[in-house]
Structure 1
Amino acid sequence: MNRVSTLQAFDTSLAQLQKRQVEMSEMQNQLTTGKRVNRASDDPTAAARAERALASSARVDADQRGVDASKSFMSLTESSLGDANDLLQRARELVVQAGNAGLGDSERKNLATELQGIRSQLLTIANRSDGANGYLFGGQGSAQAPFIDAPGAVQFRGTGGEAKIAGTEGLPIAMDGGATWLSARTGNGVFETKVTTSTGSATIDVGSVVNPSALTGSTYDIQFTNTAGVVTYSVLKDGAATAMTNVPYQAGTAMQIDGMAVTVSGAPATGDAFKIVPSSSTLSVFDTLDKTVSDLSTPNKRGPQITQDSIMNLRNLDQVMGRLTTARSDAGVTLNRIDGVTDRLGEQKISAETEKSNAQDLDMVQAISDFQNKQSGYDAALKSYSMVQRLSLFQYLNG
């Protein structure tokens, strides 16, 4: 027969009371924090899940900071390129105005002065800060303004290429200034027409490609002879004579040369010559404006010279404007991409937070119910302990 001593009964009741008190305290802590897992020991598996979710959320936050930096940069870049294109559009209007042969030298000089001011504004835009101790067009790095107005030409002293944020997205935080401002295609983008000699009234247009498969990439010279008013021309390819020799000249009629069409207008003199060379990516915004300013500042030009200058300067302006427009379009595409990345990161953030919540957060309805049950159990244990206390032999004898 097992005997239960008074001490054993007290200890058992006290242990039960303490256990229920601890359980209530833990439930109260959970209700206060709103978390089911406050320490790893509460639920090691759930704690590990929450830790992984927390790490995933932190990575998303880091990625989002990089994306936000890229968005800020690309927004500033897109706006800056818009400002530059507005200025170049004004420059184009001035060049069209300057093509009027009826203008005098002083009027053309005034136009050149305004163009010089536009050039200065464009240089300021090219050196615009990104607001974070960097430059929008500094490429992969530039500790100082990336463009310097050196004697002879504006030079790019940044590092070529684009600086990008860390991570898999590779979003840019600086644009390649050299490629943007100094590397438009010369001519019409495929070939470039040039004046070699012009003493008559002839001018040559920009030209166009009529048969891409026939292009050779060679250099061509168009040489004119005017004998008693009868004008003929010959075409040399890389300095060698071709089948096009002593061809009768018709003003304003396109000449078809190996997939290219160029039109010469006016009356060439003997010895007048034009050249066709392959296009290259060497056309600078600033060189274009410098040449235009120089042309407009040169006095005593003949009408055909003014017309030819206008043709070439408009061609060059269109090319550099096209390059900046392409760069601006690229910035817009990147901004759209950033919106998509932001949406995806937002979804990843929600997923990580949901996983973390599922792992450690408390079901408040269930927790309140459990707490009430444990409180009832504690009250019952307290009553039981109180009854056991009154069952001692001394109390019995005293009674």
Structure 2
Amino acid sequence: MRISTSSMFEAGTSQLGTLQSQMAKTQQQLATNRRMLTPADDPIASARALEVTQAQAVNTQFATNRQNVRGALALEESALAGATDVLQNVQTLAVAAGNGALNQADRNGLADQIASHREELLALANSGDGLGGYLFGGFRSSSPPFVRSAEGIAYEGDQGVRQIQIGGQRQIPMGDPGSAVFLSNPTGNGSFVTRADPANGAALVVSAGSVNNAAEFARDNYKLTFAVAAGVTTYTITDGQNVAVPPPPANAAMPFVSGQAINFKGMSFDVAGSPADGDVVTVGPSTKQTVFETLDKLIASLRAPASDAAGRARMTANLAEGGVNLASALDGVLSVQSSVGSRMAELDNLDSSGEDLNIQYAATLAGLQEIDMVKTISLFTQQQFTLEAAQKSFKALSGLSLFNYIG
């Protein structure tokens, strides 16, 4: 079979081109540490690598979101810790105000200190979020949520809770609205409120009490009226319709013992002191009261005159009520603070699992995309030898011509 010179040159150059192309591809794989230089190299692996890369990008965004949430929650936790300190200090002052040896000037001084703490609490309630907004404004975070008004401190935020995605199936609140922290504090024990009538002639201390039988508990307004006759103190109980509670036996009056539990309608509380004839203790449903209202009422109680028995009785009743409501406000702040701590702990757990996912994604991508370095270097060396051998053989073959022997 005769092979023309042109055919020989075409075949040789084509083969050399193929070998050079293969060697160039291997060299590019070594330079980039990538097995697939184009999707055509391995369509299935390329598609899988794209899925993994997208999942890795989403996981990275979740990590960024968690970092943003952690910053916001750290600011909120700091503000709540400050509010806790303020309320605990006010509780200490309220207890000190009950000292019977204090005069009006002393009580005015305590009221001034509580007023200063109220301003401190207001500043904490208007804490910034570090981004030009306010922590406790809900969705309306561009302006201070708590402002002074004719009625006291008013809330101008809303009840919105900003949520952010921190995991595939998890959204978490970035903060809490001020309404949930400072406004929704239940009065009394959360179920009912006990209070000595400010018009009483004797200083009575009424405990907050508790519900000891939920099945019998009925939300209504009740009144305990004390009577003193021949040195014996008794009391009767009536409801909001002035009906005796419980239904009166032959003698509706019940003997009173200071500090002894009084039980009716599923409620239990005690009254300490020596009631005067006609003194009254009221029991009513618990309502919501802002922490600022609690502080304002406490300040007003301390500044009110208490020079006579009636004034001292009124102050004692107001301080007892204020102390219970302060405890409720503090419990509310601590509850939110606990929630913030739980969320931050969840962020730490998700960060740990997110880092594990990143390691898995990186390992999967390495298996799909990266080359076996030793194997690829061996292949490159083999291709280099093959190309050199092909070049030498082509040179020798192209030198075989009949014209070289015609002289």
TM category (shorter chain) comes to: over 0.9
What is the 5 A alignment of 1:353-372?
353-372=362-381
Q: Match for 1:186: what amino acid?
A: T
Instruction: State whether residues 222 and 283 of structure 2, in contact with CA within 8 Å, keep that contact through their aligned partners in structure 1.
Output: yes
Specify the alignment match of 2:403 in structure 1: 394
What SS is found at the alignment partner of 1:165? strand
From 269, 287, 292, the equivalent of 1:286 is 292
Instruction: State whether residues 288 and 316 of structure 1, in contact with CA within 8 Å, keep that contact through their aligned partners in structure 2.
Output: yes
Is 1:45 equivalent to 2:51 in the alignment? no
What is the 5 A alignment of 1:214-293?
214-239=216-241, 240-242=243-245, 243=247, 245-280=252-287, 282-293=288-299
Identity in percent: 32
Instruction: State whether residues 126 and 134 of structure 2, in contact with CA within 8 Å, keep that contact through their aligned partners in structure 1.
Output: yes
Specify the alignment match of 1:208 in structure 2: 210
Instruction: Report the TM-score, using the length of structure 1 for normalisation.
Output: 0.94
What is the 5 A alignment of 1:306-385?
306-385=315-394
Specify the alignment match of 2:8 in structure 1: 9
With over 3 angstroms needed to count, the CA separation of the structure-2 counterparts of 1:395 and 1:123, relative to structure 1, is farther
Instruction: Report the TM-score, using the length of structure 2 for normalisation.
Output: 0.92
What SS is found at the alignment partner of 1:174? coil
The whole-number CA distance in structure 2 between the counterparts of 1:135 and 1:260 is: 41
With over 3 angstroms needed to count, the CA separation of the structure-2 counterparts of 1:395 and 1:296, relative to structure 1, is farther
Deviations 1:130-154 (A, max 9, x none): 1123322222343211122222232
Deviations 1:312-344 (A, max 9, x none): 221111111111111111111111111122222
The whole-number CA distance in structure 2 between the counterparts of 1:360 and 1:212 is: 66
What SS is found at the alignment partner of 1:212? coil
The whole-number CA distance in structure 2 between the counterparts of 1:393 and 1:132 is: 88
Q: Match for 1:342: what amino acid?
A: D
What SS is found at the alignment partner of 2:271? strand
Is 1:73 equivalent to 2:72 in the alignment? yes
What SS is found at the alignment partner of 1:233? strand
What SS is found at the alignment partner of 1:138? coil
Shift of 1:395: 2.6
Q: Match for 1:168: what amino acid?
A: Q
- Could you tell me which runs of 5 or more consecutive residues in structure 1 were left unpaired when the two chains were aligned: none
Shift of 1:353: 2.3
- Could you tell me which runs of 5 or more consecutive residues in structure 2 were left unpaired when the two chains were aligned: none
The whole-number CA distance in structure 1 between the counterparts of 2:107 and 2:137 is: 35
Shift of 1:159: 2.0
Deviations 1:347-375 (A, max 9, x none): 22222222222221122111111111111
The whole-number CA distance in structure 1 between the counterparts of 2:137 and 2:405 is: 96
Shift of 1:228: 4.9
The whole-number CA distance in structure 1 between the counterparts of 2:97 and 2:393 is: 108
> What is the root-mean-square deviation of aligned Cα atoms in Å?
1.8
What is the 5 A alignment of 1:84-99?
84-99=83-98
With over 3 angstroms needed to count, the CA separation of the structure-2 counterparts of 1:397 and 1:99, relative to structure 1, is farther
Shift of 1:38: 2.3
Show structure 1 runs of 4+ deviating over 4 A.
none
Larger deviation, residues 337-346 vs 327-336: 337-346
Shift of 1:252: 2.5
Is 1:296 equivalent to 2:309 in the alignment? no
Q: Match for 1:180: what amino acid?
A: V
Instruction: State whether residues 135 and 174 of structure 1, in contact with CA within 8 Å, keep that contact through their aligned partners in structure 2.
Output: no
The whole-number CA distance in structure 1 between the counterparts of 2:203 and 2:299 is: 23
Instruction: State whether residues 141 and 163 of structure 1, in contact with CA within 8 Å, keep that contact through their aligned partners in structure 2.
Output: no
Larger deviation, residues 319-328 vs 6-15: 6-15
Shift of 1:298: 1.5
Shift of 1:201: 3.3
Q: Match for 1:147: what amino acid?
A: F
Deviations 1:239-260 (A, max 9, x none): 2222353223222322111222
Q: Match for 2:128: what amino acid?
A: S
The whole-number CA distance in structure 2 between the counterparts of 1:215 and 1:283 is: 22
Greater relative CO, 1 or 2 (CA 8 Å, sep 6+): 1
Instruction: State whether residues 182 and 284 of structure 1, in contact with CA within 8 Å, keep that contact through their aligned partners in structure 2.
Output: yes
